[in-house]
Structure formats: C-alpha cells, structure tokens
A and B are shown apart, each in its own frame.
Chain A
Amino acid sequence: MKPDINIALLNAAQEIINRFSPLIEDEYEKSRLGSWGALILISALKFNDASSSLKKENHDIIEWLKEHSTISMKEFDKFKILDDKTIDQYDQDNQSLREMLDKQFETIQEEGDKILLKEGIDLMRSMHQRRKVSDLIGMLQQQEG
C-alpha cells in the first residue's frame, strides 16, 4: 500500500517549515515560504474529507429543499450520488444546489417566518462547519512561532 496524498502533503509542509524556510535570510521570502508551509498543512488535513463533505452537503441541501420548497421531486434526480461521479461533478451539483437554496432562503426572508429562518440558518451553519478551515488558525500560529 502506498502512502496517501495527504501524508505526502503533510510531510512536504513540514519540510518547508522546518528545513527550507530557516535557510532563507530575506525576511519577506522567509515569511512567504513559511505561509506556504502552513497552507499546505491545512490542505493536507482537509484533503481526505473533501469528497465526502461535498456529498454530505449536497444531500443535506436536497433534503432541506424537499421539505421547505415547492421544487418538483424530479428536479433532484440529476443530483443523485453515483459511484462514477467525479469531485468536479459533485462540485457543479453543489453550485446548482446552493443557488436553489439561496433563492428559497430569499423567499423565507421576504416572508419573515421565524421558524423557517432558523431552520435555514441551521442548515447553512452545518454546511459552514463542515467546510471551514478557520478552526485551524491556532495551528497556523504555532507554525509562525
């Protein structure tokens, strides 16, 4: 079994931060390379979950729209999760679904139904929690240190 891509990225980041960056005397170039190291580290930590997170997000938006919109069920057929779909295709589906969610939430904002507003925000928060990398800011600061 070969090492995974995220392991390769993780090791590359450590090499950049610990071996190459200290060799550079120019402060600007040193900071710039150090930043690359930290950003590659974040990429490594998020890499494994990228595909499954996208599928989960698409699934959650579809279920929410089925419950809270008048969109025909047939409309959702094209977003089916299939084994031969690439991550780019899931990303395209995701953009279409986000657009549908945005339109539906706009209607909810106009109508001002507090329960639906809360449910929409809850969905968007779960989407954001899954995607965000800002919780890794502490790790970035450690690298800077």
Chain B
Amino acid sequence: MSQDLSSAFLAYYSEFQKKDFSLISFERIFGGASRETYKIIVNDNSDNEERLVLRLSQDSSLIETEQKTEYLAYSAFQESNVPVPILIDMSEENSKLGAPFMLMRELKGEAASPFTPNIYAPHEVDLGKQFWSILGEIAKKEIDKDIFRDFIGEVEQPFWKNELDKWVKIIHEDSIGIEPILEAGIRHLYRNPPKESETISMVHGDYRSGNFLYSENKITGILDWEMAHLGDPLEDLGWALSPIWSWQDKDRPAYLLKREDALKIWEETSNISINKDDLNWWELFAAVKGMAIWISAGNEFKSGTNIDPINLFSAWIPGDIHLEIILDTLEKNI
C-alpha cells in the first residue's frame, strides 16, 4: 500500500465530509486489473466506523474505461432490484488522489474466483436463481433519460457491429503474434451477423461469476460495471454463459444452475424471448471479446507497462480457454 495514497485519501475524505476522520485500515484487493481497488475503514470524531471501497483508475489497465461510465451504470441501479453499492463520490481528475476514482460504501459479502469449481456450494441453486434473474432485471431496466443521454454519445447501431469493431480493433492493435483460430472466429462473426435487437438495454459488460458479492445464499451486490454501455441484452447473457466461467463443469454456467434453467429464469425476468441463433452469435462474440481483453493484458505484461502477474495469468489461462471455445464453436458450425 502507498502511504502517500492513504494520507491523500484521509485528507480528501475529511474535506469532502467536512469533519475529521482517522484511518483504521487501507488495504488493496488483489485481482481485477482494470482498477486498483482498496477496502478502507475510517472512524469519525464520535467513533462511528465507516467501511468504504475506493476504485482508482490505473495508468495501465486491461481495458481503459472512464470512471464516469462506471458511475453512471451504478447510478442507474441505485435502490432497484439490482443490488449495487451506494455511491459516495467520483472524480475524473488526478488532483485529489493522483488518478480518477470512485468511492462507495462497502457491501457485505464475499467474491469468489470464477475459476474455482463448486465455489458456491451448497447455495448454488439459490444463488443461481438470483444471478440469472438479476441479469434479466438489468436487461429489462428502462434507462433514466438523463443517464441515457450521457451514454448516447457512444451508441451506434447495429449494436453487434459496433461492439465487434471495437474489440477487433483492440485485438489488432495489441496482438503480439498472429492467431489463426481467433481470426477465423472473427470472420465467422462478421459473415453471420445476428438480428438487430429491438430492445436497447443497459449492458453490464462483465456480468459473470466472480463479479458479484454473496453472503451464504444471497447475492448482495453486482460489481465491476466499468465496461457498461447501451446495447443488445443478449450480449451480457452470452458473456455470462461462456464456458470459461465453468470450465470444469460446462453444463452449469457460472457453476450455478443448468443452462436451460438459467435461460428460463432470464427470459421470465426480462420478458425477452431468446433467439437461439442470435444467442449463439453473442456467445462466440463473448470468446472473441475475451481474447481482446487477454491479448491486451499480455501486451501490457510483455511491454513492461504493467507486470502485475494477473496480466500474465490472463494471457495464458483464460486466453487458452477462449481460443478452445472459438475452435469448438467453429467446428459445430461446419
């Protein structure tokens, strides 16, 4: 932990709340290379404890996104059926803490590794029902006009092409070498596009196992909205279903419920009927998007910009798995 950062935070927070605080703890959380995340405990003069989470932009991260995007997404779901942390403040400037940041109240619960089998046992059924219904809630959420306006600058249609172009650009900018499997997958997506969605939804962008907090059998928070955008609701579904998040038990996406049960819950909650061909497209897209993220991580690591081992891990393990998923999909489509 940087002593400078904790001191800067204490000075900022005391000024922000207009009262003095003392710092009890300031701990960085490992993982999630898109933001530096800190758990903070402070006490005020009356000995009232506050538990906070600080999300700080990194100079170099897996995917560079604006704090504002994440803040808007959290704002859209405050006091809704989608549990999100209570926001306290955000800044897009470097002046206060040396980097743009977002500050929120800490939620109860723990996050699991998405690569550990049966991590949610014995509560996988209860958590699974909530996981897929919350995703349905996100898909059907009517976006507040003000928030919609803030996002609208980045909405171009068709959604599928907008998203695919974005991630393919990252792949071709950051690739260390040529990967014929990935290129074949990209060509398949461009040649077989899905139908344009009739619904414009808020897309979380990284909705998966590991990105929610839970306490026993209850999901207490949906996290990591930094890739949120407006788009096709099947995008999140395809990402959450990806076999990478249940690699050692592919029949139970996210190590929760059986695939058919998950889809039924999502359809019932979102009131959106799933077109299987379109969902297949978004599932292959998920693997290509994943590759863009892992390639970007590998590039950061190789160039020395960010030698956090999470970047090497991302390039090696998830990168291999998503390539295999692309191969399997291409073979099924022959």
Contact = CB atoms under 8 A, between A and B. Distances in A.
Interface stretch (A7-15, A35-43, A69-77, A78-86): A35-43
A120 B331 CA distance: 10
B180 A98 contact: yes
Interface in A67-119: 94-95, 98-99, 101-102, 105-106, 109, 114, 117-118
Contacts of A27: 27, 29-30
B187 interface: yes
Chain B interface category by residue count: 35 or more
Contact of B115 (A101, A118, A137): A137
Contacts of B183: 102, 105-106
Interface stretch (B62-70, B93-101, B133-141, B315-323): B315-323
Nearest to B316: A133
A129 B316 CA distance: 13
Interface string A110-145: 000010011011001100100111100110110010
**Chain A CB within 10 A, most for which of B312, B316, B321:** B316
Interface in A22-61: 26-28, 31-32, 35-36, 39, 42
Contacts of B320: 128, 131-134
A105 B180 contact: yes
B309 A106 contact: no
Nearest to A109: B187
B327 interface: yes
Contacts of B122: none
Nearest to B182: A102
A114 B247 CA distance: 28
B184 A109 contact: yes
B104 interface: no
Interface of B: prevailing SS = helix
Nearest to B333: A117
Nearest to B312: A39
Contact of A32 (B115, B308, B327, B334): B308
Contacts of B30: 27-28, 31-32, 35
Nearest to B310: A35
A100 to B, nearest CB: 9
B177 A26 contact: no
Contact of B181 (A28, A128, A138): A128
A121 B29 contact: no
A134 B294 CA distance: 13
Contacts of A144: 113, 116
Contact of A98 (B1, B115, B178, B191): B178
Contacts of B309: 32, 35-36, 39
Given A106-B183, A109-B191, 9 more contacts: A35-B310, A98-B179, A98-B180, A121-B330, A121-B334, A124-B181, A132-B324, A134-B318, A137-B248
16 contacts: A28-B30, A32-B308, A35-B30, A35-B310, A98-B177, A105-B180, A106-B187, A109-B184, A124-B327, A125-B331, A128-B320, A128-B323, A132-B320, A133-B316, A138-B248, A144-B113
The 5 closest A-B pairs by CB, nearest first: A31-B30, A134-B320, A35-B309, A28-B28, A132-B320
Interface of A: 26-28, 31-32, 35-36, 39, 42, 94-95, 98-99, 101-102, 105-106, 109, 114, 117-118, 120-121, 124-125, 128, 131-134, 137-138, 140-141, 144
